[in-house]
Amino acid sequence: MTENSTLGTDWALSWIRECARTVGENRSELVRLDREIGDGDHGENLDRGFTAVLQKLDASEPATPADVFKLVATTLISTVGGAAGPLFGTAFLKGSAAISGVDELDADALVAFLAAARDGVVARGKAEVGDKTMIDAWTPAVEAARSEQESGGDAHAVLSAAADAAEEGAASTEPLVARKGRASYLGERAVGHRDPGAQSSALLFRAAAETAGS
Amino acid sequence: MTVGLVIVSHSEKIADGVVELASQMAADVAIIAAGGTDDGRIGTSFEKVQKAIARADSGAGTVIMCDLGSAVLTAETALDFLDDGVRERTWIADAPIVEGSVAAAVAAQTGASLAAVLVAASSAGRSDALDQDGDDASIPSPSPGEPRSDGSVDAEQSVTEIDLINREGLHARPAAAFVKLASGFEASVTVNGVDAKSLLRIMSLGLVRGDTLTLRGSGREAEEAITALRDLVASGFGEE
């Protein structure tokens, strides 16, 4: 066990603040990706959602990581407007339920959190790996996190493995034809473009790993 | 107390327009628009959908009509947050938003159950819903006079012919009035071979002033149904 073997509410808060920062910083890149194969509002919607999340967090004092994530979930669901609201919102909602009442998240709890979040997105969006959606980032990330945890990695190592896999997963959407979402109307024309939801998911995973420190 | 409808569209104008169109044929049904985001942009709003469900639900249930994919995601998420009792009677229809909403509204106006309204909405979306040969898979109505599989023949059947005299023909409001009346009877009724209880099928016949309707009824109340429908057509639907 290392010093960073568990992550608490402070980490949850700094992760979400980092999410808001990185989404803001990458807003125009996400808009650009979404203009290529979607309706062009992904960066703007997600930025608005996380800005609202920051305001909510400033006005409340969540006691546990699950409390933080539940607040994130309900705020994203009610403020984002596009598909990303229900999808990311459901991820945080189902993830928070899996770690309800836990003060300090170890590698095991983080894997449970990520897997439940991913399952929530799958249940909501009914997408599979290869459909050119955010699931192409989420599922490899969850698998990498689990494999890292099973080989004895600590919380930070688990999140780093997840972030690496999510970034690879997001890149893997480029050659795909979309089978879900607005891009599915484009057929072959979606080939060569990265899925914006997979890209924003990868940003959130990277933010999680970076704020977990080492 | 009728089944209510919620119209979820990315566009506020589309949702409002569908409400306007469907309400024309279903004056007593709560049809609530939930279009656009909270600040009036293109998108869907969780809160608008939640509030619309609360307004549409009178206890008889609510059918939610959606346009593009993420409207369904928003509606499903709203369902997750409903109380169990309300969630059980709130359903999302798999149907095109315009045709499905009109069909669902007319069904609700006739006092149809939640399940029947849902069927009306989804059968409006099938490519065969508008063919004119009369074999609608969703509403089995055996041809009058034909032997059933057990060899029996409908004892009660009734046939009559009548000319359309009203200005609009069997379209829009008159068609809705016709379907509403037909739906009030247990009998299976056809008009020129199509189900008299299916608004879209009736409208697809394109019957205009001067055309002749052949009304056939079978089963219980066949005679009464045919008489009432003939009288309605003869009355000119209150038009000139």
Q: Cα dihedral angle (A197, A203, A206, A210), rounded to 10 degrees? A: -150
Tokens of B5: 């409808």
In a domain, A2, yes or no: no
Record: contact A86-B76, CB cut-off 8 A = yes
Task: Mark A23-59 as b/e (b = at least 16 C-beta within 10 Å).
Answer: beebbeebbebbebbbbbbbbbbbbbbbebbbeebee
The CATH number that applies at residue A150 is 1.25.40.340
Instruction: Check pLDDT > 80 for residue A209.
Output: yes
In a domain, A90, yes or no: yes
**Beta-carbon pairs below 8 A across chains A and B:** 46
Q: How many domains does chain A have?
A: 1
B146 confidence band (pLDDT: 50, 70, 90): very low
Smallest CA–CA separation between A79 and chain B, in Å? Answer: 7
Respond yes or no: is residue B10 known to be catalytic.
yes
Residues of chain B with CATH 3.40.50.510: 4-127
In a domain, A131, yes or no: yes
The per-residue pLDDT for B144 is 43
Question: How does pLDDT run across A115-159, given as a tens digit for each residue?
Answer: 999 999 999 988 999 999 999 999 999 999 999 999 999 999 999
Record: contact B77-A39, CB cut-off 8 A = no
Q: Which of residues 43-82 of A touch B (CB under 8 A)?
A: 45, 77-79, 81-82
Distance CA A176, CA A169 (A): 12
Enter the DSSP assignment of B221. Answer: T
Task: Identify the CATH assignment for B4-127 out of 3.40.50.720, 3.40.718.10, 3.30.930.10, 3.40.50.510.
Answer: 3.40.50.510
The per-residue pLDDT for A19 is 97
Instruction: Check pLDDT > 90 for residue B55.
Output: yes
Check if the beta carbon of residue B69 is closer than 8 Å to that of residue B56.
no
In a domain, A3, yes or no: no
Distance CA B130, CA B194 (A): 10
**Number of alpha carbons in the 13 Å side-chain half-sphere of residue A11:** 23
In a domain, A45, yes or no: yes
3-state secondary structure of B59: coil
Smallest CA–CA separation between A81 and chain B, in Å? Answer: 5
Question: How does pLDDT run across B192-230, given as a tens digit for each residue?
Answer: 988 888 877 887 787 888 999 999 999 888 999 999 999
Record: contact A81-B69, CB cut-off 8 A = no
Alpha helices in B110-221 (DSSP H): 114-123, 172-183, 199-204
Of A39, A41, A86, the CB nearest to B77: A86
Question: Which domain range does residue A114 map to?
Answer: 9-212
Residues of chain B with CATH 3.30.1340.10: 157-238
- A181 — contact with chain B (CB < 8 Å)? yes
Contacts B45 to A, Cβ<8 Å: 78, 81
Quick one: three-class SS letters along A59-118? CCCCCCHHHHHHHHHHHHHHHCCCCHHHHHHHHHHHHHHHCCCCCCECHHHHHHHHHHHH
Calculate the average pLDDT of chain B.
84
Q: What superfamily in CATH does domain B157-238 come from?
A: HPr-like (3.30.1340.10)
3-state secondary structure of A8: coil
